[in-house]
Amino acid sequence: MDIDPKTIVTYPLFTFVIYLLLSLVFDLPLWTLFIALFLVFLYFIVIIIIELFK
């Protein structure tokens, strides 16, 4: 599986854009921001693991 460097940046950025749009429409509590941060952190960990075992 070849990972494009563009996707490493766009997926977390896309997650934050969706979160910001949802927070404008709905009144989201602060802990939902930490869920978004955790998902981005998990994404980076998976990318690092995939790159290490290539």
Q: Give the 3-state DSSP-derived string for the chain, with helices as H, strands as E and coil as C.
A: CCCCHHHHHHHHHHHHHHHHHHHHHCCCCCHHHHHHHHHHHHHHHHHHHHHHCC
| CB proximity list for 47: less than 8 A, separation 6 or greater | 3, 8
Taking a C-beta distance cutoff of 8 angstroms, is the pair 39, 15 a contact? yes
Q: Given pLDDT bands bounded at 50, 70 and 90, which one contains residue 1?
A: low
Among 8-12, 20-24, 31-35, 44-48, the least confident range: 8-12
Segment 16-41 mean pLDDT: 84
| CB proximity list for 36: less than 8 A, separation 6 or greater | 15, 16, 19
Q: Say what the pTM is.
A: 0.63
